[in-house]
């Protein structure tokens, strides 16, 4: 059995940056929720969900954006920290929407937005659907806030103009990845198609796009952008492959979410695609009867884990993660970045792939 991923100690520079990002997010979200409540106090449950949705996370996307800026030769800047923090609002929006689509019940050990809003919808019919509608609007507002925080970060307009077109690419590819996952749910297993979903739904907006935006703000040339693609895509894929393993083998107390969601939702993960491709006909029939069920018993979950283990799929996905980390670190080495940026991005490559949650 492969060893579980061990959490890497947080480098001091990332801890300091994360604290600054948290501060900027709190200040922005507090101001915006206060403005929302001036419309009507009845919006308090929505304001609470917006606050909760932005209060958690390792702030990886903002870190990649910030270090993209520093790699372009730019100095530390509070305005850049605010620009980088806007990446966390994109992530919060994506999480809220994704949880609605998947009908996930827990995130960070807390009720997801559409579940948390149900007590506020107490009258009439279709209360769960109306709570989901409220959560959808919360996700939409979070994406709007991301653009608002970015453009109001305090960087000169000429700098911001360098990154504006990249926001359109980020939104288009993020939606494309989510849409492909929906279209391919319960489809025949195909590792290549699963990896395409990973690339567009997670890898690009987690690593590549934040790096590109930060680098563009800093006036980076095409060579640095290309280096960040060579680093960011495999690293982002490794991040999601690790998440898929944690989604099945992780403990909910550590991950903050159920370890049955990928199975009950019949999601087209690479882990399940590899498993079905290696399974015997009898195992495939058995798994096909479990995938997509509304609920799993402990015995069924153990059986899925057992087949994933016995087919070698878990070890294979671990190898896929290792291969991608090697590609990313090689690309980073070849880019020959200045010391602080190289060190930070090297540490981040470990942080996003060796994590308990």
Higher pLDDT among residues 186 and 33, named by residue:
33
* Residue 264 clears pLDDT 60, i.e. is over it: yes
- At 122 the pLDDT is 84
**What value does the mean pLDDT of the chain take?**
91
**Which one, of 197, 209, 140, lies nearest residue 170 by Cα?**
209
Residues 288-326 have pLDDT tens digits of 888 887 778 888 989 999 999 999 999 999 999 999 999
- Mean pLDDT for 219-227 is 95
Higher pLDDT among residues 342 and 2, named by residue:
342
Lowest-confidence segment of 52-61, 83-92, 122-131, 268-277 by average pLDDT = 122-131
* Residue 283 clears pLDDT 60, i.e. is over it: yes
**Which one, of 341, 314, 321, lies nearest residue 70 by Cα?**
341
Owner of token pair 């609605």: 100
* Residue 4 clears pLDDT 80, i.e. is over it: no
Give the Cα separation of 347 and 74 in Å (integer).
20
Report the DSSP beta bridge partners of residue 110: 107
- At 9 the pLDDT is 59
Q: What are the structure tokens assigned to 217, written together?
A: 């703000």
* Residue 33 clears pLDDT 70, i.e. is over it: yes
Alpha helices in 189-221, H assignment, sequence order: 191-198, 209-217
Percent of the chain with pLDDT over 90: 75
Question: Which pLDDT band, with edges at 50, 70 and 90, does 3 fall under?
Answer: very low
Alpha helices in the chain, H assignment, sequence order: 12-39, 44-53, 60-71, 78-102, 113-116, 127-151, 157-184, 191-198, 209-217, 222-249, 252-255, 261-264, 270-278, 281-290, 298-310, 313-335, 339-351
- Mean pLDDT for 202-223 is 96
The overall pTM is greater than 0.85: yes
Look at the chain and count its residues: 357
Q: State whether residue 106 is helix, strand or coil.
A: strand
Domains of the chain listed by start with CATH number: 12-351 (1.10.600.10)
- At 1 the pLDDT is 34
- Mean pLDDT for 203-218 is 97
């Amino acid at each position: 059995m492969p060893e579980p991923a061990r959490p890497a100690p947080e480098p001091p520079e990332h801890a300091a940056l994360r604290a600054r990002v948290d501060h900027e997010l709190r200040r922005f979200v507090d101001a915006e929720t206060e403005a929302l409540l001036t419309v009507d106090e009845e919006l308090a449950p929505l304001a609470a969900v917006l606050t909760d949705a932005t209060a958690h996370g390792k702030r990886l996307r903002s870190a990649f954006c910030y270090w993209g800026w520093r790699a372009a030769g730019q100095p530390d800047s509070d305005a850049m920290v605010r620009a980088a923090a806007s990446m966390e609002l994109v992530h919060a929006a994506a999480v809220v929407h994704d949880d609605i689509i998947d009908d996930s019940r827990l995130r960070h050990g807390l009720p997801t937005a559409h579940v948390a809003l149900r007590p506020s919808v107490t009258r009439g019919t279709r209360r769960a659907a109306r709570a989901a509608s409220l959560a959808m609007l919360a996700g939409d507002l979070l994406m709007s806030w991301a653009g608002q925080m970015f453009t109001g970060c305090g960087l000169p307009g000429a700098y911001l103009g360098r990154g504006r077109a990249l926001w359109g690419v980020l939104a288009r590819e993020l939606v494309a990845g989510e849409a492909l996952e929906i279209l391919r749910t319960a489809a025949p297993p195909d590792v290549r198609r699963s990896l395409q979903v990973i690339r567009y739904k997670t890898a690009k907006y987690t690593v590549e796009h934040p790096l590109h935006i930060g680098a563009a703000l800093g006036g980076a040339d095409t060579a640095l952008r290309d280096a960040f693609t060579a680093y960011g895509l495999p690293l982002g894929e490794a991040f999601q492959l690790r998440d898929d393993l944690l989604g099945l083998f992780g403990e909910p107390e550590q991950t903050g979410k159920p370890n049955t969601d990928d199975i009950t939702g019949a999601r087209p993960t690479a882990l399940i695609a590899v498993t079905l491709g290696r399974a015997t006909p009898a195992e495939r029939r058995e798994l096909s009867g479990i995938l997509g069920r509304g609920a799993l018993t402990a015995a069924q979950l153990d059986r899925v884990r057992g087949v994933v283990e016995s087919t070698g799929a878990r070890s294979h996905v671990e190898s896929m993660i290792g291969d991608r980390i090697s590609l990313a670190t090689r690309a980073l080495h070849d880019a020959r970045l200045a010391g602080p940026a190289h060190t930070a991005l090297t540490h981040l490559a470990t942080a996003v792939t060796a994590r308990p949650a």
